[in-house]
């Protein structure tokens, strides 16, 4: 199938190369010429494990190409996937990029009849595909509504394992408004034999938000219990949550924990490009419809406070000298990505600064991005640091290399582990360990 993908962010690029890898003929489009030339040279414009290899394979076999978006290029394809950004604003999501993409789609549809189906992959609030995208397309095309398909196909890709997620989907949501879109979407995903959920586009849009809302809810609810444990004292929240997930309803047969259980661990709060933005968008959307959106609000309130709450609980009994040296390990919002968007590392660093500490920061991939956004004074370290130079070590993002570094190098430091990623038994006797619910 000939597929054009508009937008080469995480979602567009991963979807484009993976669709090319399973045999489709794909053109990825972006308005930034520098991104197009980078991709044409075989270099990925985003960090994602496995991306360089897939890109090279598909460039070599001719299944993928890259271009600036024009109606002419788009019209050479059968299906257009719109995968542009939808940032949250105080008034809801910003649809300007989706609207520009819809104008292009309308013009491309007018050029010939090869282009059949327009599918929204960007995360948009319910009704956007049916009301906004379809309306803008019709305003910009000579084609009748019956002559083309309109679909919505949300993504569930996790950064850091997006290619693996694309290639091993749990389910594929086929949102459609007509038989043309339904047939084309089913053909596009024919390669995968997972469950295909066929719904209208509004339902597809809400499935995406509901999914992230529930994952974010688990994290905030767990953190509320963890904070309560810390205030009561003498309760380890990890033991509490272990008691919760031992319930057979959280387990697969045979006792194996499904992936969802990791969202039931205390931590410094969620970040990234999706959870914060999507819960805000869902809350605003509901408020505008007159609903109180109490749970969505609480998910966000707990999350925003979590860096401060976790630092203040952990450090409350410590008498640290002013300008004591602290090292923050891990700045990306999670391991295996260079993405620092909404990373809890910002909040934690700010709170540590309030304690009067002199802070150095390190991350294997996210340092540059973090330094361009951080608002408090910190010293960047460009290479794997030596722990012995610091009095306080804070493990914000648990890259695998950090645990080993701490186990082998830490001798008498104060270690703050807000994610409870370390095994305390592996730490040297002189180390003072702090984590949510653990202050000595
Ligand atoms: C998320 C969704 O998981 C994915 O399905 C969706 O379509 C895009 O948004 P992503 O943001 O890449 O993916 O990361 P995810 O691994 O889900 O983590 C999101 C946040 O939750 C991160 O801040 C992470 O640190 C935190 N998290 C994640 C936890 O606190 N505990 C976990 O077990 C997993």
Q: Which of 222, 368, 370 is nearest to 302 (CA)?
A: 222
Cα separation, 242 vs 258, in Å, equals: 14
Sign of CA dihedral 378, 381, 387, 388: negative
- Closest residue to atom 30 of ligand 1, CA basis: 270
**Residue 274 annotated among the catalytic residues of the structure:** yes
Residue 160 CA, closest ligand 1 atom number: 12
* Cα 412 to ligand 1 centre (Å): 33
| d(CA 160, ligand 1 centre) in Å | 10
Residue with token string 């923050």: 328
- Residue that has been written with the tokens 């609903």 in this structure: 291
Ligand 1 atom with the shortest distance to the CA of 339: 12
Task: Note the pLDDT tens digit of each residue in 250-291.
Answer: 888 777 778 899 999 999 999 999 999 999 999 999 999 999
Largest CA distance in the chain: 75
Choice from 275, 281, 302 to test ligand 1 binding pocket (greatest atom count within 8 A of CB): 275
DSSP run (H or E) holding 234 = none
The whole-number pLDDT of residue 421 equals 94
Indicate whether residue 346 lines ligand 1 (CB < 6 A). Answer: no
Torsion 121-125-126-127 (CA) sign = negative
Res 377: pLDDT? 97
Q: Give the C-alpha separation, 117 to 312, whole Å.
A: 53
Q: Would you state the pLDDT for residue 437?
A: 82
Evaluate: CB of 268 within 6 angstroms of ligand 1.
no
| Residue of 219, 338, 342, 420 best suited for mutating to test ligand 1, as the one with most atoms within 8 Å of CB | 219
Q: Is 310 in the pocket of ligand 1 (CB under 6 A)?
A: no
Using a 10 angstrom Cβ sphere, with 0-12 exposed, 13-18 middle and 19 or more buried, the burial of residue 185 is: buried
CB of 336 closer than 6 angstroms to any ligand 1 atom: no
pLDDT confidence of residue 92: 82
For residue 28 the two structure tokens come to 């990825």
Query: Ligand 1 pocket, 332 CB below 6 A?
Result: no
What is the structure's pLDDT at 440? 63
Distance in angstroms (rounded) separating the CA atoms of residues 56 and 64: 10
Which tokens hold the place of 342? Answer: 């909404």
C-beta 159 within 6 A of ligand 1: yes
Measure CA 26 to chain center: 24
* pLDDT score of 438: 80
- CB of 270 sitting under 6 A from ligand 1: yes
Could you give the 3-state DSSP secondary structure of residue 67? Answer: strand
Check pocket membership of 158 for ligand 1, CB cut-off 6 A. Answer: yes
For ligand 1, atom 28, name the residue with the nearest CA.
263
Q: Which residues of the chain have pLDDT under 70?
A: 439-440
């Amino acid at each position: 199938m000939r597929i054009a993908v508009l937008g080469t962010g995480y979602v567009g690029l991963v979807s484009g190369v993976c669709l090319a890898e399973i045999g489709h003929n794909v053109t990825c489009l972006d308005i930034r010429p520098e991104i197009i030339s980078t991709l044409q040279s075989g270099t990925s414009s985003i960090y994602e494990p496995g991306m360089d290899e897939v890109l090279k394979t598909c460039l070599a076999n001719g299944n993928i190409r890259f271009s600036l978006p024009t109606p002419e290029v788009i019209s050479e394809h059968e299906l257009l996937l719109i995968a542009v950004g939808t940032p949250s604003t105080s008034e809801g999501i910003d649809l300007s990029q989706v609207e520009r993409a819809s104008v292009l789609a309308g013009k491309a549809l007018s050029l010939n009849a090869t282009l059949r189906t327009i599918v929204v992959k960007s995360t948009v609030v319910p009704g956007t595909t049916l009301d906004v995208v379809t309306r803008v397309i019709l305003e910009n095309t000579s084609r009748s509504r019956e002559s083309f398909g309109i679909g919505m196909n949300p993504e569930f890709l996790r950064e850091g394992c997006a290619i693996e997620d694309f290639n091993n989907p749990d389910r594929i949501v086929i949102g459609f408004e007509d038989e043309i879109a339904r047939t084309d979407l089913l053909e596009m995903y024919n390669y995968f034999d997972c469950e295909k959920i066929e719904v209208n586009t509004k339902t597809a849009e809400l499935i995406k938000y509901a999914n992230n809302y529930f994952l974010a809810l688990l994290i905030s609810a767990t953190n509320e219990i963890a904070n309560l444990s810390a205030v009561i004292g003498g309760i380890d929240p990890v033991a509490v949550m272990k008691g919760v997930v031992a319930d057979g309803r959280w387990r697969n047969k045979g006792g194996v924990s499904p992936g969802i259980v990791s969202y039931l661990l205390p931590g410094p709060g969620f970040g990234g490009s999706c959870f914060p933005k999507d819960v805000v968008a869902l809350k605003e959307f509901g408020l505008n419809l007159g609903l109180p959106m109490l749970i969505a609000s609480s998910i966000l309130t707990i999350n925003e406070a979590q860096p401060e709450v976790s630092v203040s609980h952990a450090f409350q009994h410590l008498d640290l000298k002013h300008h004591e040296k602290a090292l923050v390990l891990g700045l990306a919002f999670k391991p295996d990505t260079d993405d620092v968007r909404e990373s809890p590392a910002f909040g934690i660093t700010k709170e540590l600064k309030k304690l009067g500490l002199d802070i150095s920061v390190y991350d294997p991939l996210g340092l540059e991005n973090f330094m361009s956004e951080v608002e408090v004074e910190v010293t960047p370290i460009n290479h794997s640091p030596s722990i012995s130079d610091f009095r306080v070590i804070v493990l914000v993002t648990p890259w695998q290399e950090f645990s080993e570094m701490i186990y082998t190098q830490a001798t008498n430091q104060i270690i703050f582990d807000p994610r409870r990623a370390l095994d305390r038994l592996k730490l040297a006797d002189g180390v003072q360990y702090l984590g949510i619910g653990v202050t000595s």
